[in-house]
């Protein structure tokens, strides 16, 4: 276990040093195979076989669809619609940004895409309304994490692929925790706005008739964008399409919407979206390839069994072991981004979760909530750094309020999701039946 710990430490050092994630995994895999005597001639075909999966194909398709909608001017109508609904209450503009992030998360499945799109529009608006710049950036960064809980989610797809769990069930498992986190972030924002005297007071309520007209007007404008998550999730949950087929339909649907309705897409921006998507897809696939080999080596070294043995040696109490799992995931999330963290942690901790009677669907919500929180937690904190760049502020200006959202927003959601199984299991069971709670192997 000591040498495995050293390899994990090397991986974290490479991440922190700025080495691309795919290359970091590749270097560690080559070193492990050399030192531990593994034959890469056996490992490479294993990784190729695992990646030859229709489930994994959904990730490139969701990336393409999300980027087309991003370049196609989807975010403006979404923000306007959310603002027309909640904009005339205290902290309404911040709440509108949070809701817009949640909706965009249901389109793209990517936290980075959510803050890049929504943050670019919302942060200047929030600053104009008197929100401190650092706080505005922190709020949008925290809300961007909703993309990993509210379906569809890249992390959930990878978890289902690695653990042979229904992707549809995994999507449903994250829905209620995602809605809960949305509400908590809105409440925190409502309270915090009262502490900033610079924030402008909301405009007076115009009356039911005028408010209804405004909501109707902005809602009609945002309808094609709002229909995209309905199209994705409706076809999946209705049994009409698999997640991969739904992702393909969404990618095709996004093209005429971007070109003909929102008119943000031109041949130039469409080509830019395809190039950006190709770059992202290539990086993710190479990373997954080497991460699969790395995870396989960890399994062959009996690391999951050693982790389970270590935890049960401390306590066999289910709730204490869940606390240790959360602590482990918290530490991983501090250093490793969500997709890499999921690729490593799911094979390692899934046997431990089964050992203490946690259903695969419930564990999907637990691990995703923890790794989402890690996106806001230093030293890596990728969403904080993205918020800093997009909002043109500094890390010290963001970190205090970012940690406020972590401890008052994310931590309660993680604990509720961990210790109250129905928040993750009720919806999957209601839609798919109790069989989804039974491990496939």
Q: How many CA atoms lie within 13 A of 297 on its CB side?
A: 30
How many CB atoms neighbour CB 143 within 10 A? 34
Residue 401 is encoded by which pair of tokens? 């309020």
Residue 103: closest CA among 217, 224, 192: 224
Where would I find the H helices in 109-242?
A: 111-114, 120-128, 133-144, 146-149, 154-163, 167-193, 208-237
b/e map 80-113, b = 16+ CB within 10 Å: bbbbbbbbbeebbbbbbbbbbbbbbbbbbbbbbb
Radius of gyration of the chain (CA): 22
Whether 254 contacts 65, CB under 8 Å: yes
**DSSP class of residue 379?**
T
Q: Which two tokens stand for residue 382?
A: 């990728």
Our CA dihedral for 48, 53, 56, 62, rounded to 10 degrees, sits at: 130
3-state helix vs strand vs coil in the chain, percent to 5: 80, 0, 20
- Six-digit token pair at 63? 């990336």
| pLDDT, one tens digit for every residue, the chain (441 residues) | 677 778 888 888 887 787 888 888 899 988 988 888 888 777 888 888 888 877 888 888 888 888 888 788 777 888 888 888 887 788 888 999 999 888 887 777 788 888 888 888 889 989 999 999 999 999 999 999 998 899 888 889 999 999 989 899 999 999 999 999 999 999 999 999 988 888 888 776 677 778 788 888 988 998 988 888 888 888 888 888 888 888 888 889 989 988 988 888 888 989 988 998 898 888 888 888 888 888 888 888 888 878 888 888 888 889 999 999 999 998 888 888 888 889 888 988 998 998 899 999 999 999 999 999 998 988 778 888 888 988 888 888 998 999 999 999 999 999 999 999 999 999 999 988 888 887 765
Give the span between the Cα atoms of 182 and 323, in whole angstroms: 24
Q: Which residue has the tokens 């409706």?
A: 234
Structural contact between residues 35 and 300, judged by C-beta atoms closer than 8 angstroms: no
What's the DSSP call for residue 437? Answer: G
Nearest to 101 by CA among 84, 113, 86, 88: 113
Q: Tell me the C-alpha distance between 343 and 28, whole Å.
A: 15
Burial class (CB in 10 A: 0-12, 13-18, 19+), 72: buried
């Amino acid at each position: 276990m000591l040498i495995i710990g050293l390899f994990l430490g090397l991986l974290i050092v490479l991440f922190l040093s700025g080495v691309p994630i795919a290359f970091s995994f590749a270097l560690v895999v080559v070193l492990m195979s050399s030192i531990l005597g593994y034959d890469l001639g056996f490992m490479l075909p294993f990784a190729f076989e695992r990646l030859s999966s229709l489930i994994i194909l959904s990730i490139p398709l969701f990336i393409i669809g999300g980027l087309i909608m991003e370049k196609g001017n989807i975010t403006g109508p979404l923000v306007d619609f959310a603002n027309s609904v909640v904009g005339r209450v205290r902290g309404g503009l911040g709440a509108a940004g949070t809701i817009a992030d949640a909706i965009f998360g249901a389109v793209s499945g990517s936290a980075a895409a959510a803050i890049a799109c929504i943050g670019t529009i919302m942060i200047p608006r929030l600053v104009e309304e008197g929100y401190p710049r650092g706080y505005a950036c922190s709020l949008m960064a925290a809300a961007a994490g909703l993309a990993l809980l509210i379906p569809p989610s890249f992390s959930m797809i990878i978890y289902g692929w690695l653990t042979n769990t229904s992707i549809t069930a995994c999507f449903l498992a994250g829905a209620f925790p995602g809605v809960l986190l949305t509400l908590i972030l809105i409440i925190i924002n409502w309270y915090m706005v009262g502490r900033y005297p610079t924030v402008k007071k909301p405009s007076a309520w115009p009356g039911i008739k005028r408010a209804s007209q405004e909501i109707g007007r902005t809602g009609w404008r945002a309808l094609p964008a709002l229909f995209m998550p309905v199209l994705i999730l409706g076809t999946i949950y209705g049994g009409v399409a698999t997640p991969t087929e739904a992702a393909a339909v969404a990618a095709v649907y996004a093209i005429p919407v971007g070109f003909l309705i929102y008119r943000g897409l031109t041949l130039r921006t469409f080509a830019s979206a395809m190039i950006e998507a190709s770059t992202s897809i290539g990086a993710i696939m190479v990373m997954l390839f080497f991460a699969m080999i790395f995870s396989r080596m960890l399994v062959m070294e009996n690391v999951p069994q050693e982790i389970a043995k270590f935890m049960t040696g401390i306590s066999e109490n289910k709730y204490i072991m869940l606390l240790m799992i959360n602590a482990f995931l918290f530490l991983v999330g501090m250093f490793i981004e969500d997709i890499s963290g999921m690729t490593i942690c799911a094979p390692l901790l899934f046997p431990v979760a089964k050992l203490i009677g946690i259903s695969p669907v419930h564990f999907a919500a637990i691990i995703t909530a923890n790794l989402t929180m890690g996106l806001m937690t230093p030293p890596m904190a990728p969403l904080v750094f993205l918020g800093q760049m997009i909002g043109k502020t500094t890390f010290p200006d963001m970190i205090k309020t970012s940690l406020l959202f972590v401890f008052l927003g994310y931590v309660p959601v993680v604990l509720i999701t961990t210790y109250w199984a129905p928040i993750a299991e009720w919806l999957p069971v209601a839609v798919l039946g109790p069989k989804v709670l039974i491990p496939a192997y």
